[in-house]
Structure 1
């Protein structure tokens, strides 16, 4: 716990990065404090994303300076629009400050869960994608360039390569405060989950369920009962960019819906449209598949809004409406097909009835099932039907349809047509159930609490006590899924001892020992799947393989395959690449499907090409001395 306490200043800075750049512009909105906070988050991350692209164009290195420049421009635009619409009456202040209590409780709860699960801020993710994401942050720092157009880490020699870098750009800004890439990554993880996710859910509930203000209070709290997201993304992947993109989706949905509200005037509506566009841009900059998810989840609302005037519309208006919808649908289909990244690596694995059961209980992807959140969501659905908010049901139905396709649909070509933009990955698709399922569960909780209060006031106190006790027992059933997620984090995803599946504590200790021994121009070879590639993230020293996949060239492929056998061809490749040292971290790997790719980088103790330089446990650094 001492490690986390020492990182409190870094956590405050991380929160500042995701709130302050967009806060002045958000204050120009006619909105409640909650919605302004949500807008500040969306605008801040859009500002960081824009700054990452603009900075190299202006000849600026990656730092808070380009962020401040973009933020000042955004603030000026918002101020002009606010001044233009100054005659519009201000929005009434919320008389329900309890939502801030819920957000505070959610912040403390998620922070406690994550600090217990990660154990210490110095513990790296031990999952496959963690290798890339940690090294990508160091790549940004080394090159002082966070542009998504310049992420060439795994394509050395290329002048451009497109990859969504918003997550890494935010983490890179925090590294000088946190003291290292790993700690900065873990601190940003806490900030994203404990701050953005609760605020986003409360914002969506407050805008969609305006007749039930208490839904905004309950939505951030019932989110603890949904297992697949966000904790599931730390135990699968690890999916840092998707995590950031997805937590922004409720804000995108909320602000699109808010932009169609009346009473803001042209300038005010323009501000809301720009805020929704900022949320969309930030989500796309984090991970494009997140934005595509947001688009399909908001389609029912857009269609409903477009068709509302239909009964009283003229023939011309009807033709224009249908034409616009058809064009929009066609564009969506074209983009959907172009964005398909089908891999067939993950296949459907349950029956239709099992998939429907997981949807009913809001416990997708085979997680342990809690009994309350699904019931609350069903009550929320009932309330939506009573309120005749039919488009909400269709929006929730979209996420259900996608999940059924991912989890069950046996026709792989058709399945990939629907969920290929998420790599056919049921876990990523399952997370989409949260975007409408959790707000509906929050609405259900508000309905139940109102019912309990009414019956208590009417004198049916025994009944209220019995129902409340059953609700508490139902809530307790969600402790097991939560405990399972935290246990997996502690014992696998962030397990950091000499027996870790990726980078072990001995190997990290070797990094620390050799940091000053290696020169800036030294290049180190090692199997990235054993954690050797993380030398780059830990020390900044160049490695041949910063990730498992990439286009590293024929020489690198030769060394990965044949280094242990030696020979003139190996020495020639070493010379051309400039390799000076080699790491041997044994045979334990975080992902064994690529074993044969790097089988030439194991069992190097008897190699005539190498001389041992340093060792911690079984982790060894060698110097290349046998190639004259």
Structure 2
């Protein structure tokens, strides 16, 4: 299948990821950028909560269930809207929720065309670049990430498709003996894409990844920048130019890991943060009342949390400076007798309660130390330089966004009394990354960044969320200064030589054209340097080749033969470290060990450790019959990561020392075996 042939599948993916949220928001009265940017967060709330709730009601997790649940919620929203409108004495169908940026960008001295084109052009710039980089990196629509984590992600999607159960409460580890919580919002949505389109799991994963990176992330960024910098044409266009220029997001989460849940969660984060800023009344773009923003924030939080809880904790941390700013403002108003002491006290107690709640969540919602092995790898000085230069994890400096970021920091410092909360968000993100990447091992480091597995990659991916608004401040200053210079030259009487051409130039050439030229320059300039490194990594991770870490062409050919040879209902013994477990995701044949981690029951342990002893170990054949594990994959000795504990039950297959088995298929060094003594 070519990428052009996937266009209908991609349209269906967008329908599933945006449609339910768009319907709910439209029924609530939301319009414009807010409708577009919040559709995905609301849709993922619906799909992830449905995944958890459906088993309790005996409902299958299926596209039709998703559709009916969405329609029911839209109808309920309409009923609530009518009731509230009548109680408030308004029209019979007044708006249920008000948030800013629901209308058009106001016209300015840039004319009418630029404000009208700002949003679509910004989305096209960022989305087009990100989509192109993903298409090039993925190579073929059916390629998949050859990384450690992808064994779980692909098999989790297959499990949801097969069982029609998408509950995040039970999908962890993929085994009945150790099932537990794992955030499955992303897996749930991709499972619906597989059901709805009939696409293979790798194709559905790639299309959903493109939708998240090239559509959801840019919209989310536009929503945030409209609240931090302003809902104006120039900041919106600069956001479109810069949103695709960070190496650490969205690309890094797909090139490393692979961290698909974090990729989704961080793409949703700017929209959630924008709602928090509007709810706290610190955003530049806001309505008279904050209740609409509060309601929408509450609606979006389940989807964000079930995409990945660590990103919700990042939201709580990033919102703290804005909350403190609002507290200081309320206290100052009280001292000027502009507000009551009760209101100021309410904000003080609310802030204290918030800080206490964040501390509890910060301490409790974190993985065990055994799952957080990453340590520091650089000095503090280098880490600070990487943050300022937008080059985390040792990548190359971005020569366009780095000056814009530094200039933005200077502008914020010049207006620190009104904008210190923006600096505060930036500092929070910077400090977390600096601690993870350069702080010595110990209790303090674990306390600060253990939520993110002590992992510098995950914290590097958060930096663009708080860096982008700062860079937009700096770049907007440059745009207006260049434009002002050209306008001044046009009206100057002191020009000589070739500069006199400015006098006769049409107005748009010195007022509007420079803005568009600079936007193109920003977009093109943000694509060099640092992105070449992450693009190379992306290309390598998704390539199917003889040296692939997880699945080689020979292994893939055997997996495809396994689907033909292995009866449905039989299961396969394979070492997940060698990619054999992906027979479940790619061939729809159950793997006894579907995930690298997880506890196995006694029967599974016998088969996994002793399958090749079936001819002489009396415990093995009964276990094989119980699990119908008559098949095994021999994928050699290469593992995706170094390990001291491969599955012992297939070791003798590699050395040809296992009696009572026969080779049913072989391609290169990859082989499919069937036991002959347990029939």
With structure 1 as the length reference, what TM-score do the two structures score?
0.92
Compared with structure 1, are the counterparts of its residues 522 and 211 closer, same or farther at alpha carbon in structure 2 (3 Å cutoff)?
closer
Matched, 1:24 2:23: yes
Pairing of 1:405-420 with structure 2 (within 5 A):
405-420=435-450
Contact 1:29 1:271 in 2 (8 A): no
Contact 1:154 1:551 in 2 (8 A): no
Contact 1:21 1:43 in 2 (8 A): yes
Map of 1:445 onto structure 2: 475
Pairing of 1:543-558 with structure 2 (within 5 A):
543-558=591-606
Compared with structure 1, are the counterparts of its residues 357 and 272 closer, same or farther at alpha carbon in structure 2 (3 Å cutoff)?
same
Compared with structure 1, are the counterparts of its residues 133 and 276 closer, same or farther at alpha carbon in structure 2 (3 Å cutoff)?
same
Matched, 1:487 2:536: yes
Map of 1:166 onto structure 2: 185
Q: Secondary structure at the match of 1:622?
A: strand
Compared with structure 1, are the counterparts of its residues 72 and 52 closer, same or farther at alpha carbon in structure 2 (3 Å cutoff)?
same
Map of 2:495 onto structure 1: none
Compared with structure 1, are the counterparts of its residues 264 and 68 closer, same or farther at alpha carbon in structure 2 (3 Å cutoff)?
farther
Compared with structure 1, are the counterparts of its residues 254 and 374 closer, same or farther at alpha carbon in structure 2 (3 Å cutoff)?
same
Map of 2:399 onto structure 1: 371
Q: Deviations over 1:360-401 (max 9, x none)?
A: 101111112222212112222233344522211111111111
Map of 2:361 onto structure 1: 335
Contact 1:137 1:168 in 2 (8 A): yes
Pick aligned residue for 2:408 from 369, 380, 385: 380
Matched, 1:362 2:409: no
Matched, 1:247 2:267: yes
Map of 1:3 onto structure 2: 2
Pick aligned residue for 1:587 from 625, 628, 637: 637
Q: Secondary structure at the match of 2:666?
A: strand
Contact 1:212 1:443 in 2 (8 A): no
Matched, 1:94 2:105: yes
Pairing of 1:79-118 with structure 2 (within 5 A):
79-80=78-79, 82-83=81-82, 84=84, 92-95=103-106, 96-97=115-116, 98-118=118-138
Mean CA deviation greater in 347-356 or 335-344: 335-344
Q: Deviations over 1:132-187 (max 9, x none)?
A: 000000000110111112316532256x6221111111101111315211111111
Q: Any stretches of 5+ residues in structure 2 without a counterpart? A: 107-114, 335-339, 491-497, 503-509
Q: Secondary structure at the match of 1:614?
A: strand
Mean CA deviation greater in 322-331 or 110-119: 322-331
Pairing of 1:64-213 with structure 2 (within 5 A):
64-80=63-79, 82-83=81-82, 84=84, 92-95=103-106, 96-97=115-116, 98-151=118-171, 154-157=174-177, 161-176=180-195, 177-210=197-230, 213=233
Compared with structure 1, are the counterparts of its residues 108 and 457 closer, same or farther at alpha carbon in structure 2 (3 Å cutoff)?
same
Compared with structure 1, are the counterparts of its residues 260 and 28 closer, same or farther at alpha carbon in structure 2 (3 Å cutoff)?
farther
Of the two, which has the highest radius of gyration?
Answer: 2
Compared with structure 1, are the counterparts of its residues 372 and 502 closer, same or farther at alpha carbon in structure 2 (3 Å cutoff)?
same
Contact 1:610 1:626 in 2 (8 A): yes
Matched, 1:624 2:643: no
Q: Deviations over 1:552-592 (max 9, x none)?
A: 13444454445456641544543454321111011122112
Contact 1:50 1:70 in 2 (8 A): no
Q: Deviations over 1:488-523 (max 9, x none)?
A: 2222x1111243221122222222223132112211
Q: Deviations over 1:433-458 (max 9, x none)?
A: 11110122123222211211111222
Pairing of 1:462-477 with structure 2 (within 5 A):
476=525
Compared with structure 1, are the counterparts of its residues 212 and 519 closer, same or farther at alpha carbon in structure 2 (3 Å cutoff)?
same
Contact 2:280 2:323 in 1 (8 A): no
Compared with structure 1, are the counterparts of its residues 587 and 378 closer, same or farther at alpha carbon in structure 2 (3 Å cutoff)?
same
Map of 1:320 onto structure 2: 346
Compared with structure 1, are the counterparts of its residues 446 and 77 closer, same or farther at alpha carbon in structure 2 (3 Å cutoff)?
farther
Q: Any stretches of 5+ residues in structure 1 without a counterpart? A: none
Take 1:239 and 1:48, find their aligned partners in 2: how far apart are those partners? 20
Contact 1:203 1:216 in 2 (8 A): no
Pick aligned residue for 1:615 from 663, 666, 670: 666
Q: Secondary structure at the match of 2:394?
A: coil
Pick aligned residue for 2:657 from 601, 606, 610: 606
Take 1:339 and 1:548, find their aligned partners in 2: how far apart are those partners? 23
Map of 1:503 onto structure 2: 551
Q: Secondary structure at the match of 1:312?
A: helix
Take 2:519 and 2:129, find their aligned partners in 1: how far apart are those partners? 23
Compared with structure 1, are the counterparts of its residues 51 and 154 closer, same or farther at alpha carbon in structure 2 (3 Å cutoff)?
closer
Take 2:199 and 2:522, find their aligned partners in 1: how far apart are those partners? 43
Pick aligned residue for 1:456 from 486, 502, 521: 486
Contact 2:38 2:220 in 1 (8 A): no
Compared with structure 1, are the counterparts of its residues 470 and 288 closer, same or farther at alpha carbon in structure 2 (3 Å cutoff)?
closer
Matched, 1:348 2:369: no
Map of 1:392 onto structure 2: 422
Map of 2:111 onto structure 1: none
Map of 1:433 onto structure 2: 463
Contact 1:255 1:275 in 2 (8 A): yes
Q: Secondary structure at the match of 2:2?
A: helix
Q: Secondary structure at the match of 1:444?
A: helix
Take 1:54 and 1:256, find their aligned partners in 2: how far apart are those partners? 27
Take 2:379 and 2:123, find their aligned partners in 1: how far apart are those partners? 38
Matched, 1:274 2:295: yes
Aligned residues: 620
- Give me the CA root mean square deviation: 2.8
Q: Deviations over 1:257-308 (max 9, x none)?
A: 2234598566xx4432221122221110111111111111111112222332
Compared with structure 1, are the counterparts of its residues 203 and 226 closer, same or farther at alpha carbon in structure 2 (3 Å cutoff)?
same
